[in-house]
Amino acid sequence: MADLSVKICGVEFKNPVIAASGTYGFGREFDDIYDISQIGGISTKGLTNEPRLGNPVPRIAEGHGVILNAVGLQNPGVEHFIKYDLDFLKSKGIAIIANVAGNTLEDYGKICKKLDGLVDMVELNISCPNVHAGGMALGIKPKNIEEVTELAKSNLKKTPLMVKLSPNVESISTNAKAAESGGADCVSLVNTFMGMVIDLEKRKPIIANNTGGVSGAGIKPIALRMVYEAAHAVKIPVVGMGGIMTGKDALEFMCAGAKAVQVGTANFADALAMPRIIKEMNDWLDKHNIASVNEIVDTLKLN
């Protein structure tokens, strides 16, 4: 079997397949289906300083090859996570990435300080397109990205910082560089695209919030392009995501320059998606006599 282990910012992952934030909760429900110790890591449900109820329903809708969501960062709050979920995840022996969000710069600083040293990595969610305050505004302009990254990093003395980038921007390369300049240890991308689905009979958007974040297989070609551009704009590691449904999809992102991948929407379509993707990656590497998954990283040959 191929060696699937990877190391990012000093953090060891048994394989490069990480559960994407907002699609896996805190892992408990999936652990009822399979032992989640099989996966490389988990990016938790987006955490805020205080509990959030999220947006009104309906907040999930289907499109062709995609889904849209406007959940609004519903979560029990960081203190609840630390008290009730952290030990469970630690018992699974997987890398724990705490995805965090806030409405203000101060919010980001406070939550990072609370999590410092407790998790393997913090992922800064500055790009969620369905939150009216904070997320989108902080994730669009390079100056704001650099500022929030600097503040978060100043409150993390022990824990590496990953910044999750929005694709709804003018230049993903410029924004990746802004995160790097702000002190990010790595970046992850892409978060969801802004979209809308309509009920023609009612002539109204299906989602109560009117618009939502688009994810799923349909966004993969755009996500791949952005991951390639970001990976070649910065010197820090890149974690790729966006429409990964198979092992080959995951390897394509790594070929484009990602050190690891996050799998999200696939978990809704197939509860066993992640262990299947890990197996498919291993099978492909074995078939091509590649000893380590790291050998495929950044091997894309442009025409």
pLDDT, tens digit, 9 for 90 and up, residues 169-194: 999 999 999 999 999 999 999 999 99
Residue among 163, 166, 167, 169 nearest 148 (CA): 163
Q: What is the pLDDT of residue 103?
A: 84
Return the bridge partners of 121, or none.
97
Instruction: Record the tokens describing residue 50, joined without a space.
Output: 């205080």
**Average pLDDT of every residue of the chain:** 95
Q: Mean pLDDT, to the nearest integer, of 96-117? A: 95
Q: What is the pLDDT of residue 137?
A: 65
Q: What is the pLDDT of residue 132?
A: 46
Residues designated as active site = 128
Q: Mean pLDDT, to the nearest integer, of 6-16? A: 98
- Which value, in Å, is the radius of gyration of the alpha carbons in the chain? 18
Q: Find out whether 269 and 291 touch, Cβ atoms under 8 Å.
A: no
pLDDT band with cut points at 50, 70 and 90 for residue 32: very high
Gap between the terminal Cα atoms of the chain: 32
Distance of alpha carbon 9 from alpha carbon 122, whole angstroms: 12
For the whole model, what pTM was predicted? 0.96
Q: What is the pLDDT of residue 129?
A: 47
Portion of the chain with pLDDT greater than 70, in percent: 96
Q: What is the pLDDT of residue 150?
A: 97
Distance of alpha carbon 223 from alpha carbon 215, whole angstroms: 10
Q: Is residue 135 predicted with pLDDT exceeding 80?
A: no
Q: Which domains does the chain possess? A: 6-57+76-195+215-296 (3.20.20.70)
Helices 247-255, 273-287: axis angle to 10 degrees equals 60
Q: What is the pLDDT of residue 247?
A: 98
Q: Give the 3-state DSSP-derived string for the chain, with helices as H, strands as E and coil as C.
A: CCECCEEECCEEECCCEEECCCCCCCCHHHHCCCCHHHCCEEECCCECCCCECCCCCCCEEEECCEEEECCCCCECCHHHHHHHHHHHHHHCCCEEEEEECCCCHHHHHHHHHHHCCCCCEEEEECCCCCCCCCHHHHHHCHHHHHHHHHHHHHCCCCCCEEEECCCCCCCHHHHHHHHHHCCCCEEEECCCEEECCEECCCCEECCCCCCEEEECHHHHHHHHHHHHHHHCCCCCCEEEECCCCCHHHHHHHHHCCCCEEEECCHHHHCCCHHHHHHHHHHHHHHHCCCCEHHHHCCCCCCC
More confident residue, 116 or 72: 116
pLDDT, tens digit, 9 for 90 and up, residues 210-240: 999 999 999 999 999 999 999 999 999 999 9
Distance of alpha carbon 39 from alpha carbon 24, whole angstroms: 12
Q: Mean pLDDT, to the nearest integer, of 161-167? A: 96
Q: Is residue 131 predicted with pLDDT exceeding 80?
A: no
Q: Is residue 127 predicted with pLDDT exceeding 90?
A: no
Q: What is the pLDDT of residue 104?
A: 84
Distance of alpha carbon 162 from alpha carbon 152, whole angstroms: 10
Q: Mean pLDDT, to the nearest integer, of 120-129? A: 85
